[in-house]
A = this chain, B = another copy of it.
Amino acid sequence: MKKKIFKLPKATLERLALYYKTLQNLDDEEVVMISTPELAEILDIQPEKIRKDLSMIGKFGMKGVGYDVINLKLQIGNILGLQNYWRLAIIGAGNFGTALANYEKVTDWGFIVAALFDVDEKKIGEEINGVRIYDFKKFAPISRRKLIDIGVIAVPDAEAQKVADILVEAGVKGIWNFTAAKLDAPKNVTVVDENLMIGLSALSFYLNQNTN
| Residue ranges of A at the interface with B (Cβ–Cβ < 8 Å) | 3, 5-6, 8, 10-11, 13-14, 16-18, 20-22, 25, 42-43, 79-82, 84, 86, 94-96, 98-100, 102-103, 105-106, 109, 111, 149-150, 173-176, 180, 182, 188, 190, 192-212
Q: Is the CB of B202 within 8 A of A86?
A: no
Q: Is the CB of A106 within 8 A of B208?
A: no
User: What's the nearest-Cβ distance from chain B to residue A200, in Å?
Assistant: 6
15 of the cross-chain contacts (CB-CB < 8 Å) are A6-B209, A11-B11, A14-B202, A17-B195, A17-B198, A18-B195, A21-B195, A21-B197, A22-B182, A95-B95, A96-B103, A149-B207, A192-B199, A192-B203, A192-B206
Contacts of A22 in B (CB 8 A): 182
Q: Give the residue name and chain of the B residue nearest to A14 (CB).
A: B198
Q: Is the interface of A mostly helix, strand, loop or mixed?
A: helix
Contacts of A211 in B (CB 8 A): 3, 81, 84
Give this chain's copy count. 2
Q: Is the CB of B205 within 8 A of A80?
A: yes
Q: Is the CB of A205 within 8 A of B81?
A: yes
CA distance A43 to B106 in the complex (A): 28
Contacts of A86 in B (CB 8 A): 204, 207
Residue among A81, A206, A211 having the largest count of chain B Cβ atoms under 10 Å: A81
CA distance A17 to B25 in the complex (A): 31
CA distance A95 to B93 in the complex (A): 11
User: What's the nearest-Cβ distance from chain B to residue A71, in Å?
Assistant: 19
Which of the residues B18, B182, B198, B209 comes within 8 Å of A42, measured between beta carbons? B182
Q: Is the CB of B188 within 8 A of A210?
A: yes
Which of the residues B84, B180, B204, B207 comes within 8 Å of A105, measured between beta carbons? B180
Contacts of A21 in B (CB 8 A): 180, 195, 197
